[in-house]
Amino acid sequence: MSYDLTFFTPRPGVDVHDIVEVDEDRTSRGRRDPKTEAKKRKLADALVANDKRLELANPDFDAIARLHKMRVDEAYERFRDLELTDTASGMQILLYDDGAGLSIPYWHSGDAARRVLEQAWSAIEIVCRETGYEVFDPQLDRVIDVNAFDDVLDTYAGATARMEGIVGRAPKKPWWKFW
């Protein structure tokens, strides 16, 4: 489970919930557009330049093609979203053709939670500045801006505490024992 944020392009007269409604398969569709790919790559480079902890994934299209029983060129066209991850914090950023997503696992509490959210905030500022996207926080059920840091931190910390409570109450027996 993670704290998720959705980046989107606002459209006048369209409810934000209709824009950010995410289907099960957020993968970009259609053929690769060189201009769109260049914009995503430029954004990924800006994010990595700002935060050296972020690593850009290098997909193995041969393996993806085998897994999904498709040709390699089809895998290359279909699986083109860019993924940046900080393995230490678990923060992940996905760059789509027409939006982005940021996820932070519920691993962090106290000062660590503040630090990972500060890291995320820096990425949020870059994504918004470079793309013109806005950010929707489904946990708060609203569009957020730079002034929402404390609200996000409080919500994240509360969810982390609930997760710790759930995990702490989990039975300490093997998963396969039902009795």
Q: Which of the four pLDDT bands, split at 50, 70 and 90, describes residue 170? A: very low
What confidence score (pLDDT) does residue 4 get? 96
Predicted confidence (pLDDT) per residue in 81-119, tens digit? 999 999 999 999 999 999 999 999 998 999 999 999 999
Q: How does pLDDT run across 64-76, given as a tens digit for each residue?
A: 899 999 999 888 8
Q: Which residues in 53-69 are b (16+ Cβ under 10 Å) and which e?
A: ebeeeeeebeebbeeee
pLDDT of residue 174: 55
Q: Which fold has domain 2-12+31-169?
A: Cell Division Protein Zipa; Chain: A, (3.30.1400)
- To the nearest whole number, what is the mean pLDDT of the chain? 88
pLDDT at residue 2 tops 80: yes
Q: Are 7 and 134 in contact (CB under 8 A)?
A: yes
**pLDDT > 70: what percent of the chain?**
87
Which residues, listed in sequence order, are joined to residue 4 by a DSSP beta bridge? 103
- Tokens representing 149 are 């840091």
pLDDT band at residue 21 under the 50/70/90 scheme:
confident
- Whether the full predicted model's pTM is greater than 0.75, yes or no, is yes
Query: Of residues 153 and 20, which shows the higher confidence score?
Result: 153
Residue range 55-62: mean pLDDT, rounded: 92
Amino acid in the structure at residue 91: M
| Residue extents of the structural domains in the chain | 2-12+31-169
Mean pLDDT to the nearest integer, 20-49: 83
